[in-house]
Amino acid sequence: MEAQLRSSNVLLSRLPEREYERLAPMLEPVSARRGDAIYQPGGPIDFVEFPLTAVALIAVPMADGAVPTVAIVGHEGLVGLPALLGERRSLHGLSWCVSGSVVRIRSEDLLAAAVPFSQLVRVLGVYAEIRLGIVEQNAACSGLHEVRARCSRTLLTLSDAADADRLDFSHKSLALMLGVTRQSASLALESLRIDRKISYAAGHILILDRDGLEGTSCECYAILRSESERFFGPWRRSPSDCAARAGVAAPDQMALLPDGEDRG
């Protein structure tokens, strides 16, 4: 159980045995439910959370109701980064977008364990750098890259974070993540469906052709993925099974629903 817990988060799995054993008694397994808040805007960061199968969404709410996503965090990362940098309050609210398991540790316990020159300090430092890179890449991406390419990138990132090809997201939630209108998101998804990269039905999207989706994504996906793997090595747990489905025709009910009809 302990070994499985450790191997289920990329950052924990890259710690040497001795360092992980020092951390283990302070790690508390918890369940995360989709929609639950992790931190409130301006609220304390009492715990740093390492997702195992859950996925967190870091989004910035705007006055006009838009909530563009600035980062998607699954088993390849952690949430609570400001606490590692000495800031114990969260600027934005964070929530879980995929239910699943998480291990958490009190922020002060993690800081106390991060002794100089330890691998823990290096892993956390590298991860902080990667997250900064994600924010920088997103700033350029959202200003320059077309919606279909960004949509492909977001689906791939969600798939990596959740370690799944089936994503339980509606067109509306994807539009919110991309910071575009629902119509724009639906047009991008429909275009990807016609090209047989994905299929969708009410409330979920299925990746059929992962390699093809990488081809339609902007370069931002490959840049960030390779940067993360440069430090941590390959980290997708299970090989994608979408290749086996690549030749399967999308069922009729997965066709684009008429405008205005909710897909969940």
Which positions lie near Zn ion, rule CB under 5 A? 141, 145, 218, 220
CB of 41 to Zn ion, least distance (A): 27
Residue whose token pair is 């699954």: 74
Beta bridge partners of 106: 47
The rounded distance, in Å, linking the Cα atoms of 108 and 112 is 6
Question: Which of 211/219 has CB closer to Zn ion?
Answer: 219
Fill in the amino acid letter for 130.
Answer: I
DSSP state of 25: G
Sheet holding 37-39, edge to edge: 37-39, 94-98, 55-59, 69-73
CB atoms within 10 A of CB 157: 24
Question: Which of 23/134 has CB closer to Zn ion?
Answer: 134
Sign of the dihedral defined by the CA atoms of residues 70, 72, 73, 77, in that order? negative
Question: Which of 58/218 has CB closer to Zn ion?
Answer: 218
CB of 144 to Zn ion, least distance (A): 7
Question: Which of 108/219 has CB closer to Zn ion?
Answer: 219
CB of 196 to Zn ion, least distance (A): 22
CB of 145 to Zn ion, least distance (A): 4
